[in-house]
């Protein structure tokens, strides 16, 4: 993201953080298929005590889901201090930090997995390689990465997002292209999924599960 995009995204989530936390307190909005994919991500994590990073953790709803699936050591980052404030209330023992996905506050190879659940939706296609390279830097060999995003090309806008006087701008990504970028920086692709929209979804959904070489 450019400086302007980053500022816009921060401003958006500062405005909607409280409403977002109330509307999405847990994973009830996720489909069974999507939760099963997270289950496969957890199953593919290498053994050890290294943390799993929720990259773009927002209010922390996926932190709770991962903990409930037996992931005992977690950490999280998000661009929005206001979203993280909610995560800290729900998960006071999880280390959390304000950070950009392109500059993770982790040492090289320090995490055994990264869940990036709809956190690249504000990143243009041209910005995905920088995120992929940073995920490759921070993930230990054999570690797993799972990304979720709306699938397609172009952008979508949602005026009045979460009932607030703001417009959400999101970028669509093609799963095959995201997989190609991650493969280029040192990941083996385990699964690439593009599923049809369901429920109130307006677009297909994309997922990439990868393992660090």
d(CA 149, CA 154): 13
> What is the architecture of the domain spanning 3-212?
3-Layer(aba) Sandwich (3.40)
Helices first, then strands: H and E counts in the chain? 6, 9
Left if phi > 0, otherwise alpha if psi is -120 to 50, otherwise beta: which for 60? left
Q: Percentage helix, strand, coil, to 5, in the chain?
A: 35, 30, 35
- Within 10 angstroms of residue 130's Cβ, the number of other Cβ atoms is 17
Task: Look at residue 20 and tell me whether its pLDDT is greater than 70.
Answer: yes
Run of H or E including 175: helix 175-184
Task: Look at residue 2 and tell me whether its pLDDT is greater than 80.
Answer: no
Give residue-wise pLDDT tens across range 144-202: 999 999 999 999 999 999 999 999 989 999 999 999 999 999 999 999 999 999 988 99
Run of H or E including 44: helix 32-44
Triad 75, 81, 87: Cα angle to 5°: 45
pLDDT of residue 1: 61
Give residue-wise pLDDT tens across range 132-142: 999 999 999 99
Give residue-wise pLDDT tens across range 28-76: 999 999 999 999 999 999 999 999 999 999 999 999 999 999 999 999 9
Q: How far apart are the first and last CA of the chain?
A: 27
pLDDT of residue 3: 66
- pTM (predicted TM-score): 0.96
């Amino acid at each position: 993201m450019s400086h302007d995009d980053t500022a816009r995204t921060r401003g958006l989530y500062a405005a909607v953080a409280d409403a977002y936390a109330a509307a999405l307190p847990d994973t009830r909005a996720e489909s069974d298929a999507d939760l099963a994919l997270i289950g496969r991500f957890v199953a593919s994590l290498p053994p050890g005590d290294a943390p799993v990073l929720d990259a773009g953790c927002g209010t922390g709803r996926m932190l709770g889901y991962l903990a409930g699936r037996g992931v005992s050591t977690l950490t999280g980052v998000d661009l929005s201090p206001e979203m993280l404030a909610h995560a800290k209330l729900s998960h006071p023992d999880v280390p959390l930090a304000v950070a950009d996905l392109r500059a993770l506050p982790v040492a090289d190879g320090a995490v055994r997995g990264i869940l990036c659940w709809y956190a690249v939706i504000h990143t243009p296609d041209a910005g995905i390689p920088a995120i992929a390279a940073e995920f490759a830097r921070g993930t230990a060999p054999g570690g797993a990465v799972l990304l979720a995003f709306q699938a397609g090309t172009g952008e979508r806008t949602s005026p009045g997002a979460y009932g607030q006087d703001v417009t959400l701008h999101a970028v669509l990504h093609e799963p095959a292209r995201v997989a190609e970028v991650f493969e280029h920086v040192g990941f083996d692709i385990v699964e690439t999924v593009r599923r049809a929209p369901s429920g109130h979804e307006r677009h297909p959904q994309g997922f990439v599960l990868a393992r660090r070489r």
